Amino acid sequence: MLRGGMFIHGTNFIRQSECCQALADFFRAGVVQYPAMNDDQLTRLLQDLVRIPSVNPHGDPGTDPANTGEGRLAEYLAEFFRKLALDVEFHEVEPGRPTVIGKFASRGGKRSLALGPHTDTVSVAGMTIDPFGGEIRDGRLWGRGATDTKGPMASLLAALANAVRSKTFREGDLDVYFTALMGEESGNDGVRDLMQRGFRVDFAIAGEPTDCQVVTAHKGALWFKLHTRGQSVHGSMPERGVSAIGKMAPVVAHILGPYTEQLRERPDAVLGAPTVNIGVIEGGSQTNIVPNHCLIEVDRRTVPGEDHRQIMADLVATFPELGLESELVRDCPSLDTDPANPYVRELAAATGLGDRACAGAPWFCDAGIFSQFGVPAVAFGPGSVAQAHTADEFIDLAEVYRGARIAEQFLLNSAG
């Protein structure tokens, strides 16, 4: 498989067998002549995506290592792009874990946007259904990633495939990059790598389950560790040592008490108040030893205008006598895109939801990274985040079809 930063066009470098027969039939007539992708073909496309495992390998993936990483899915998508006559580019961010990009070049080429779902899924540990089965029942498709975020991915793929049929779209001035991003679930690694390479567009849509609303604002996530150090002695003589757990106790009490109350007093108009949670606490090695180390892991959800580095510094400065040490774990900025942005307004209009078209979200995604690098961005896609990461993940197929039609209408209306 070709790698690196070079665009390749029209090269048959991917196994034809990776593409299902339905899609082969769909593409057979050629990029201009083929009929619109129908709901049945879109269903089979989503089944393909779910049946290609792409579990993020970080942590416990809950499956054989062969089912981890985004490589196979990236190959499948590259073939899809090639059959649309798109230019294809791979960026291998980690070994076997590429981001793949398909570029549609319009005749005018004056403006550009990115469709950016992520290709990785969370762990399949504890799932009560076949995570890679793609079973269809009760009008739903079941499996890991069905909602987060292969359902939104399928909708965006179908939308682009149908839009490029339009002569007006092809002869317009809107270039479209389908950026299938690796590593969102463990640090937004794919989009960070892409933006650090200098990738820029006029607008970006992160494919996420938003119930087909346009998420213009989401909270940021600041994950960090706080450490205290002590001195170990025999547990029968604690007065001769220094308990690291004892030093951490007032920190925990402060975060869960006054600090939490202070955050509630500073709500954002769209996202509500910032929040804090202590998700992990560790300390000591044995009952009869005074502990010389304690750590807590803090999950701080931020709102626009908060400075992540300053948040950590302020907490440490609150306890100068304790010698607190801080360690950054994950840093994803909040999102605050102007709903009056012309692309946002066009996408919102395509949803048909009126005043409910735009919304905020408590979670975070790759849209925040696009925005951090100066690209106005939103999150959009079918499915409910309530089904994301669940033991029996599913998506309603009617919503996948609706998402595809909204996205297609948006592309056609934006082409100029």
How many C-beta atoms lie closer than 10 Å to residue 386's C-beta? Answer: 10
As a whole number of angstroms, the distance between CA 42 and CA 297 comes to 42
Q: CA–CA separation, 103 vs 89, rounded Å?
A: 8
CATH 3.40.630.10 fits domain 16-218+334-414? yes
Residue 12's pLDDT is what? 29
Can you read off the two tokens belonging to residue 150? 């292969």
Beta bridge partners of 223: 299, 330
Peptide bond preceding 149: is omega within 30 degrees of 0, i.e. cis? yes
pLDDT of 18: 46
| Bridge partners, 112 (sequence order) | 175
Contact 178, 160 (CB under 8 A): yes
- The helix/strand/coil state of 256 is helix
Strands 220-229 and 293-302: antiparallel
The span from the CA of 367 to the CA of 61, in Å, is: 25
Specify whether the CB–CB gap between 103 and 7 falls below 8 A. yes
> What's the fold here for domain 220-332?
Alpha-Beta Plaits (3.30.70)
Query: Contact 296/222 with Cβ under 8 angstroms?
Result: no
Extents of the domains making up the chain: 16-218+334-414, 220-332
The residue to which tokens 């960026």 are assigned: 91
183 CB-near residues (< 8 Å, 6+ apart):
56, 70, 93, 94, 97, 118, 120, 189, 190
Strand order in the sheet with 275-283: 275-283, 293-302, 220-229, 325-332
pTM for the full predicted model:
0.89
Residue 10: the pLDDT is 32
Q: Residue 28: its pLDDT value, please?
A: 56
Q: What is the pLDDT along the chain (416 residues), one digit of tens a residue?
A: 333 333 333 332 333 344 555 566 565 545 445 568 999 999 999 999 999 999 999 989 999 999 999 999 999 999 999 999 999 999 999 999 999 999 999 999 999 999 999 999 999 999 999 999 999 999 999 999 999 999 999 999 999 999 999 999 999 999 999 999 999 998 899 999 999 999 999 999 999 999 999 999 999 999 999 999 999 999 999 999 999 999 999 999 999 999 999 999 999 999 999 999 999 999 999 999 999 999 999 999 999 999 999 999 999 999 999 999 999 999 999 999 999 999 999 999 999 999 999 999 999 999 999 999 999 999 999 999 999 999 999 999 999 999 999 999 999 999 97
- State the distance between the two ends of the chain, measured CA to CA, in whole angstroms: 36
